[in-house]
Structure 1
Amino acid sequence: MEQREIKQFLSEQSLFAGLAEAQLETLAAHARERDLESDQVLASQGARAESFYLILDGALVIEVPALTGPKLEVTRLGEGEVFGWSWLIAPYEWHFHARASGPTRVLEFDGKALLERCEADPAFGYPLLRRFSELMARRLDAAQRKMMDQWSPPGFA
């Protein structure tokens, strides 16, 4: 996908809808396509986070490691959904584990370069931070509900 195609694609995605042309151009300039094999790990909880991903085809399984036993699947993200906000907030470490549920194609964004741009240009950074904050709130709420449903012992309030 060429940069102008990426820019057009981003303008059609809900997370980026309404951003200015220059903001979309900056995002597109820091994006590249990446193919993932089935079960390929994209992020490991606690590892350094310097990217975020927009799913083009396929799906990602988002999981939380358990103290004992198997990982808990929190959600699956599909086409047009974004994974990753940890590149934006210190300590810049993944909070979840993510792996491809089958062959998956993503746009990988250079979060480190975009964070530098956010800090240097609040007119670029604030709209992006606002969008990612809304995404974080929705995802964390869903993760909390899923964990309470799956891990709550009898009598747990």
Structure 2
Amino acid sequence: MDQLLKQAELFDGFDDEAIGRVSEIGRPRSLRAGEYLFLLGEDAANFYLVVRGRVDLCFPMPVGGDVKDVSVESVGNGQALGWSALVKPYRFTLSARATEPTEVVSFARRGLMELCEAEPRLGRVFFMRLSELIGIRLETFQALWARELQRLVERPAELQGGPTASKART
């Protein structure tokens, strides 16, 4: 598992001793295609690293009387997910579903937090990298939100038969 952790961007630059300490608390888990790793709103007790495969982070949306998963981001080899396990209120804000057979490493919140407290330098680097991950997720949501706002702004003009913002620009 040490070699897998060394290849993950979240643990990039960690020395062998730090990688070994992190590896000790990781537990492998396999997912079938279509299987959920976690669901929106569940208690977030574990943080995950994708070893092999792909996981879609989804937001369940009501569509025509059904609930469909809208994929917000796709996470693959060496990428982390489930950071809600490390940030209060410790509830998942999205669902995670494997899109193909997938192997992940699961890290219990308690073990990871104890390690970060026992090794402050490791904890500082880990949480700096985690904050970068959170920032990327926020940028993704901002782009999705902006696109939806644009659609809402253009929609009334379409309904009234007027020009849309895109037609007005040409």
Normalised to the residue count of structure 2, the TM-score between the two structures is 0.79
Give the number of the structure whose residues are more often helix, by fraction: 2
SS in 1 for 2:56: strand
Distance 2:144 2:25 in 1: 33
User: Residues 52 and 76 of structure 2 are in contact (CA less than 8 Å); yes or no, is this contact kept in structure 1?
Assistant: yes
Structure with the greater alpha carbon radius of gyration: 2
The alignment partner of 2:10 has SS state of: coil
Q: Structure 2 matches for 1:7-156, cutoff 5 A?
A: 7-66=2-61, 68-69=62-63, 70-150=68-148, 153-155=151-153
Contact 1:45 1:96 in 2 (8 A): yes
Tell me whether 17-26 or 119-128 shows the greater mean CA deviation: 119-128
Q: 5+ residue gaps in structure 2?
A: 155-170
Q: Tell me the distance in 1 between the aligned counterparts of 2:39 and 2:142.
A: 19
- The percent of aligned pairs where both chains have the same amino acid is 31
- Deviation readout 1:9-36 (Å, 9 max, x if unpaired): 2122222111132221111001122110
Q: How many residues align?
A: 150
Is 2:37–2:97's contact at 8 Å kept on the other side of the alignment? yes
Residues 49-84 of structure 1 show CA distances to partners (whole Å, capped at 9, x for unaligned) of 121221122110111123x32332101111121112
Moved over 3 A (4+): 150-153
SS at match of 1:90: coil
The 1-side partners of 2:11 and 2:92 are apart by 22
Q: Compute the RMSD of aligned alpha carbons.
A: 1.9
Q: In the TM superposition, what is the alpha-carbon distance from 1:154 to its structure 2 partner?
A: 2.1
